[in-house]
Amino acid sequence: MQILKEKDGFGGELIAQLKKRGSKATAQIESSVSQIIADVRGHGDRAVADYTVKFDGAMSEKTELTHDEMVRSASECGEDFLSALRRAADNIRRFHERQKQQSWFETGADGVMMGQRIRGLKRVGIYVPGGTAAYPSSVLMNALPARIAGVGEIIMVTPPAKGGRPNPAIMAAALEAGVDRVFQIGGAQAIAALAFGTETVPAVDKIVGPGNIYVATAKKQLYGTVGIDMVAGPSEILILADETANPKFLAADLMSQAEHDVLASAILLTTSERIAQETLLELDRQKETLERRDIIEKSLETYGAIVVCRSMDEAVDFANELAPEHLEVCTASPMDYLGRVNNAGSVFLGNYAPEPLGDYFAGPNHVLPTGGTARFFSPLSVDSFVKKSSFLYYTKEALAGAKDDIITLADAEGLTAHANSIKVRE
């Protein structure tokens, strides 16, 4: 991992390089996923089973789990894990409860009424990766906002663990978050099953949750048939640090993202060359004890950088242009920068708010926009699981007062039938 010094033009080059990275689907993957989607649409459960056997080696004997089976599986978890899970869920609930909006309407003296109705989606699907990795935190982050939004039914799909058994940690999180039904299927075939419905899997209105390139590609191809949260790319972190930052903390936080994937990006921007040098030494020292050292080294070598900036203003401008998924501000007065950071998925302020705090426990959602899309996308939230309808009511007298303006505007657009709809009510 190199230490670079910012000079005119360099920042733009680095940002362009980082935005080019990603796990974009090849033409072969796009074609394969299209075929899977078509087969599941046409053949339902049989196609899901065939593809599961093809890709996973076997189909679980029990596709849908009963509530009792979920409870028995969750009981295998230790009490320390369950207690931590409950405390995390409480924090996530508390944060997302503040996001709830209310329907509203207003009335005018002329009898006009108008407003907005807000309600939860009827049914949503949550994809949770399984197999060799288990992410109970993803269950909480996806299901709890849906539950708070008032979604009628939450369907979860997740590949079974080895031996065809459900993952106990994922089952515990599903019970804690109030998931209604769980199906042991995964991959693009599970996404297609949620989108179209099969003999056993109900069709949903929206699909959320992380997955591999096949899952992400299936979500992208099915957008429009169903809603999706986002097509997420590799994880990323950008840290702003001044001369007061702790290099030990900075190195640890950079590697906490680099261990996700060889495509992950970890960038440190600092105004102190001393901090840059000491952080580099800490990276070499700390990585020796980490299990995913090979992934970390590849990630840092390819998409990592330590940049010595000429000023914090320059660093903030760089951050806003990159629009990172995670942004840490490790400075003497981190709150001074909060109002100046306009593009970031989630902002972590100070030396004691590391990114994993948000991943697991604090409350804000960890499903965040990546690849610079924080310029126009927002984190997963309660709003992601509601739909809004407007309504209005006019009296005859109120319409008469507006008719001339409406007819004028309709005529200007050449839509005479629109104008006629008003004229016949005169």
Residues 158 and 215 in one domain: yes
* CA 137/CA 146 separation, integer angstroms: 15
* CA 202/CA 1 separation, integer angstroms: 48
Domain that holds residue 76: 27-101+120-228
Residues 264 and 330 in one domain: yes
- Domain endpoint, select from 338, 362, 386: 362
> So what's the pLDDT on residue 416?
97
Residues 198 and 275 in one domain: no
- Whether residue 413 lies inside any domain: the answer is yes
> So what's the pLDDT on residue 109?
85
- Whether residue 10 lies inside any domain: the answer is yes
Q: Could you give the percent of the chain with pLDDT greater than 70?
A: 96
- Domain endpoint, select from 177, 207, 228: 228
- Whether residue 375 lies inside any domain: the answer is no
Residues 261 and 310 in one domain: yes
Residues 157 and 207 in one domain: yes
Sheet with 265-270, edge to edge strand ranges = 3-5, 304-308, 265-270, 236-241, 326-330, 346-349
- Whether residue 106 lies inside any domain: the answer is no
Residues contacting 236, CB < 8 A, separation 6+: 18, 257, 264, 265, 266, 267, 324, 325, 326, 370, 371
Question: Which 8-state DSSP code applies to residue 223?
Answer: B
- Whether residue 110 lies inside any domain: the answer is no
Instruction: Return the H-helix or E-strand segment holding 391.
Output: strand 386-393
> So what's the pLDDT on residue 132?
59
- Whether residue 333 lies inside any domain: the answer is yes
> So what's the pLDDT on residue 2?
77
Q: How much is the CA Rg of the chain, to the nearest whole Å?
A: 25
Enzyme catalytic residues: 325-326
* Confidence grade of residue 14 (pLDDT, cut at 50, 70, 90): confident
Give me the amino acid identity at 385.
Answer: F
In angstroms, what CA-CA distances link 410 with 228, 318, 415, 419, 422?
35, 47, 5, 5, 10
Residues 189 and 272 in one domain: no
* Confidence grade of residue 7 (pLDDT, cut at 50, 70, 90): low
Residues 211 and 306 in one domain: no
- Residue-wise pLDDT tens digits, 168-203: 999 999 999 999 999 999 999 999 999 999 999 999
Q: How many domains does the chain have?
A: 3
pTM: 0.92
Token pair of 250 as six digits: 């900075």
Instruction: Return the H-helix or E-strand segment holding 373.
Output: none
- Whether residue 134 lies inside any domain: the answer is yes
Residues 12 and 157 in one domain: no
Residues 142 and 191 in one domain: yes
Residues 151 and 218 in one domain: yes
- Whether residue 109 lies inside any domain: the answer is no
CATH code, domain carrying 54: 3.40.50.1980
Q: For the chain, what is the total number of helices (H) and then of strands (E)?
A: 17, 15
In angstroms, what CA-CA distances link 421 with 359, 399, 407?
54, 12, 9
- Residue-wise pLDDT tens digits, 315-340: 999 999 999 999 999 999 999 999 99
Residue 307 clears pLDDT 70, i.e. is over it: yes
